[in-house]
Amino acid sequence: MKKTFLITLIMVVFSLPTYNFQANASPDISATNAVVLDMDTNAVLFEKESHVERNIASITKIMTAIVALEHGELEDDVNISRNAATQEGSSIYTKLGDTYSLKDLLYGLMLRSGNDAATAIAEHIGGSEKGFALLMNEKANWIGMNDSSFQNPHGLDEDGHYSTAYDMALLTSYAMNSNDQFEKIFSSEKYLSNNIDYHWYNKNKMLMTNDYCTGGKTGFTKSAGRTLVTTAEKDGKRLVVVTLNASDDWNDHRELYEYGFEEIDNRSDFMNEEDIVDFSSLFESYFDVLNQLHGVKEWST
């Protein structure tokens, strides 16, 4: 009887479906910290030290943009203060006393990474840079960015101003999924402001050189290194990719796109509905075997 029982058990085990699941080779990237999210589920497809707090430079402006869009109106008139016009770093070359629409400043913020635009937006929406930072942190808490703290709207180095690759991916996923105007700005290759007679071109060259890229924001300071957030889409699959302190960020993102799309396919194949084990049938077979072995007519479960 024992021999019959063992043979039957072996037959049950070998009747289970087999899976041809091949692990996706982990990409070799230059970034110190990185993450790839499925933008439709926020599932982590790849991560490298993604919860480590770091300076993030101008990818800060993703938060600036979504807060401004949720608290202001695109046609608002924004006056340029001395503080905004003289802000150090990257600029759209505003002057004291100029008036821009909030829409123009948002495009200058995201395409040209204007620190003057960021400051003007913050002063208009929050009354001051610090007032606006309160709104930024409020939004971060609401989204679930548990390892982030914002002290300014532009991303210049400041004590207490930091985030993580994961938090910035979570933020970008939220902004892209919740606000059509953000998505439009984030994906724009160029923009012509009413205040000037030449186009602003997006510093995110992935938009012009990669078929999958649907948007992005660049950043750099000496302490943060090169930071980059991009989004991508292929055959209906959507990704958010974040790299921090990446010397070869453009190639990192290209490689992470390929990895992310393949990973979604692998996970989808693995969880294919027709391949899921029918555990009720398995247990029925198991108890049939026990009945044979012990001569018991009924088992309760």
Q: Three-state SS for 187?
A: coil
Catalytic residue among 48, 50, 58, 81: 58
> Is there a catalytic annotation at residue 237?
no
Per-residue exposure over 152-186, b if at least 16 CB sit within 10 Å of its own CB, e if not: bbbbbeeeebbbbbbbbbbbbbbbbeebeebbebb
222 labeled part of a ligand binding site: no
- What are the strands of the beta sheet with 237-244, ordered from one edge? 44-48, 33-38, 237-244, 225-234, 213-221
Is 193 a residue of the active site? no
Kindly report the number of other CB atoms within 10 A of residue 242's CB atom: 33
**DSSP β-bridge partners for residue 242:** 35, 229
**Is 58 annotated as catalytic?**
yes
User: Which residues have CB under 8 Å from 126's CB, separation 6+?
Assistant: 132, 133, 134, 135
**From the candidates 50, 81, 90, 113, which is the catalytic residue?**
113
Which residue type is seen at 291? N
For residue 104, what are the contacts with CB-CB under 8 A and spacing of at least 6?
193, 194, 195
Please report where in the chains the tokens 């007032």 appear, as a residue.
Answer: 131
**Residue tagged active-site, from 48, 61, 103, 139:** 61
- Binding residue ranges: 217
- Binding residue ranges for substrate: 217
Question: Mind telling me the catalytic residues?
Answer: 58, 61, 113
